[in-house]
Amino acid sequence: MIIDIVIFGLIWTAIYALIGLGFSLIFGVANIMNLAHGAFFMIASYIVFMLTAQAHLGLLWAALGAIIFTIIIAVLIYWAFIRPMRNAMTQVLIITLALAMLLEQIVLLVFGPEPRYVPSILTGGVNILGVRVTEQQLLTFFIAIILIAVVWMLLSKTNIGRIVRAVSQDAEMASMLGVDTERVYMFVMALSAALAATAGILVAPFLTVTPTMGWSPILVAFTIVVLGGLGNIWGTLAGAMIVAFAEMITSYAIHPQLKDAVTFTILILALIFKPNGLFSREVK
C-alpha cells in the first residue's frame, strides 16, 4: 500500500501542480480569483471526447483543438466579463463562479449527464515495484513535469517572463514604463487556461468525464495557492505534493470518496494557521 501511495501520489502531484500553477499565475499577476478555472479543465475534456468520438480526429489533433478552443473561451471571458470589473475582486469572484456554473449547464444540455469516456493516447501498462501503472498515467506525469519546467523557464529566463513578473509586482509602475498591462493579463489568462486544459486532456482517459468534474480541481487549485503562495512555482509543487499525498493516504487508508473532504480540511487549516502561505508572500 505504501508503494501505491508513493507512486500515485507523485503522479497526482504533477497533475495538481499543473492545475494549481495556472490558477496561481492569473491570481498572482492579475489579482483575478478565477473560479472558472476548473470549468476550463472540464471543457477541454469534453472537447477531446467530441473530437475523437464524433469528429473521429486523432488524439493529438483533438488535444490541440481542445487547448485552442479553451484558450479562446478564456480570452473571451476575460475580455467580456472580467476586464470591465477587474479591480473589484468580489465582483470578479461572483462572475467567474456564475460563468463556471453556466458552462457546466451548457455542457449538461449538449452532452447530457451520462459519463463520457476518452480513449488513451497510450494503452499499455507497466509494473513499478509491483504496482500496475498505465502508460497514460506515466505520460501524464512526464508531460506535466515538462510543462511546469517550461513555464518556469518562460517566467524566469525570457523577456516575456520578466514583463509578467514586473506587472505582478507593480502594475502601475510597469504601465508607466510602457508595458501594456492588459495584454499581459490576457496572455496570463490564456496561459492559465492552457495549463488547465492540458491537465484535463491528460487525465480524461483515466477519469470519468462529467459536467461536474471541474469543481474538484478548483478546490485543489485554491488550496495549493494558499499553501504555496502566489507566483511561486516551487511553493506550488510543494502545495500540490501535500494535497496529493493527503488525498492518496485518505483514499487508501479510509475511503476514496473522502479525498475532497481532506483537501477542504487542509484549506481550512491553512487559512487558520498559515494564511500567508507556507512558502511565499502574503495571500489576501
What's the pLDDT tens digit per position in 148-180? 999 999 999 899 999 999 998 888 898 888 899
Task: Considering only residues 111 and 58, tell me which one the structure prediction assigns the higher pLDDT.
Answer: 111
Per-residue pLDDT band at 284 (split at 50, 70, 90): very low
Residue 216 located in a structural domain: yes
pLDDT of residue 89: 84
78 falls within a domain: yes
pLDDT at 274: 78
For 175, the domain range is: 2-273
Q: What is the pTM of this model?
A: 0.92
The answer, yes or no, to whether residue 281 has pLDDT greater than 60, is no
Return the number of other C-beta atoms located less than 10 Å from residue 41's C-beta. Answer: 31
pLDDT band, residue 282 (cuts 50/70/90): very low
Is residue 161 a contact partner of residue 155, using CB atoms and an 8 Å limit? yes
Distance, in Å, from the CA atom of 45 to the CA atom of 170, rounded to the nearest integer, reads 36
Does 159 fall in a domain? yes
Rounded Cα gap, residues 220 and 149, in angstroms: 20
Question: 61 by DSSP, 3-state: which?
Answer: helix
H or E segment to which residue 47 belongs: helix 37-53
190 Cβ contact partners less than 8 Å away, ≥ 6 residues apart: 71, 74, 75
For residue 212, report the phi and psi dihedrals to the nearest 5 degrees. -95, 5
Encoded amino acid at 245, one letter? F
Task: Find, among 116, 135, 115, 110, the residue nearest to 125 by Cα.
Answer: 135
- Helix H or strand E encompassing 126: strand 125-128
Q: What is the pLDDT of residue 283?
A: 43
In this predicted structure, the answer to whether residue 76 has a pLDDT above a threshold of 90 is: yes
The CATH number of the domain holding residue 121 is 1.10.3470
- As for how many domains the chain has, the answer is 1
Q: Cα–Cα distance between 103 and 134 in angstroms, integer? A: 31
Whether residue 140 is predicted with pLDDT greater than 60 in this model: the reply is yes
Q: Is residue 246 part of a domain?
A: yes
242 vs 55: CA distance, rounded Å:
39
